[in-house]
Amino acid sequence: MSPIRALVFDAYGTLFDVQSVSGLARELCGDKGELITQLWRLKQLEYTWLRTLMKTYEDFHTVTRDALEFTLSAVGVTPSPALCDPLMQRYLHLDLYPEALQALDALRDRKLAILSNGSPDMLTALVRSAGIAARLHDVISVDRVRQYKPDPACYALVEPALQVRRDEVLFISSNGWDVAGAKRYGFQVAWIERGDPAAVPQNSAVGPAEFFRLIRGRAEQLGHEPDFRVRRLTDLPPLVGT
């Protein structure tokens, strides 16, 4: 393997906890809040892939709002501004994973960047809210190519932005589909295994969080395996020799 000169992080689910919307969802929507949290994320991802395949790009804010309104309607909740606006606002202030600052500081001798589906305005708000802007060489939005990951054009944004070769990049994501896309592109890849995958269910009676883990908690079977599997962002510095 080539020496790692840059570490590039996915944002949603990797540096920022998308599940941190669940408290507000429960506050606003009662016992449907957990179901809304999980369906919203799944539909959000689905819409990014559909819009890329259909060549009907809309930015991530629009995709996220559309996914939220779909989700609310699907569970029998009217998608009013009184519900949608605060939930969308929460997406601009997602919780940073607790070990993220320590990991970024330990990796400061490498170029650090974000490559995300997020729109520029959403990512600017997230990075500012978390106080990590000064630690990053660049915050790269797929909006620059009007496609969504795992389209190769998205990963191709990294090399000119950071002035590195693709084999000198360690890409970090908690999303199995993103891991596969980045590895197929030619990056070195670390998969952050956030928590344990759901246990094998005994029957079909599973809750929304367990259902989400069944879909997203395991490596995708796409023939492109990560180079590293780690549990926390603070497991990364030893991999790059800091």
pLDDT for 242: 60
CA-to-CA distance for 76 and 96, rounded, in angstroms?
31
Q: What is the mean pLDDT of the chain?
A: 95
Check whether 21 has a pLDDT greater than 70.
yes
* One-character DSSP codes across the chain: -PPP-EEEE-SBTTTEEGGGGHHHHHHHHGGGHHHHHHHHHHHHHHHHHHHHHHT----HHHHHHHHHHHHHHHTT----HHHHHHHHHHTTSPEEPTTHHHHHHHTTTSEEEEEESS-HHHHHHHHHHHT-GGG-SEEEEGGGTT--TTSHHHHTTHHHHHT--GGGEEEEES-HHHHHHHHHHT-EEEEE--SPPPPPPSSS---HHHHHHHHHSS--SSS---SEEESSGGGSHHHHT-
Lowest mean pLDDT among 190-194, 199-203, 235-239: 199-203
Q: How far is CA 35 from CA 25, 155, 188, 211, in A?
A: 9, 32, 35, 10
pLDDT for 198: 65
Q: To the nearest whole percent, how much of the chain has pLDDT over 70?
A: 98
Q: Is 17 a catalytic residue?
A: no
- Model pTM above 0.85: yes
Which domains are assigned to the chain?
6-17+93-240 (3.40.50.1000), 18-90 (1.10.150.240)
pLDDT for 196: 67
Check whether 231 has a pLDDT greater than 70.
yes
Residues 176-198 have a mean pLDDT of 91
Residues 121-132 have a mean pLDDT of 97
Q: Please, which residues have CB within 8 angstroms of residue 154's CB and are 6 or more apart in sequence?
A: 115, 117, 142, 145, 147, 148, 181
State the pLDDT confidence band at 197, using cuts at 50, 70 and 90.
Answer: low
pLDDT for 194: 82
Residues 134-149 have a mean pLDDT of 97
Query: Per residue in 201-212, is it b (16+ CB within 10 Å) or e — as a string?
Result: eeeeeeebeebb
pLDDT for 56: 98
Catalytic one of 10, 17, 143, 178:
10
pLDDT for 218: 83
State the pLDDT confidence band at 216, using cuts at 50, 70 and 90.
Answer: confident
State the pLDDT confidence band at 92, using cuts at 50, 70 and 90.
Answer: very high
pLDDT for 1: 76
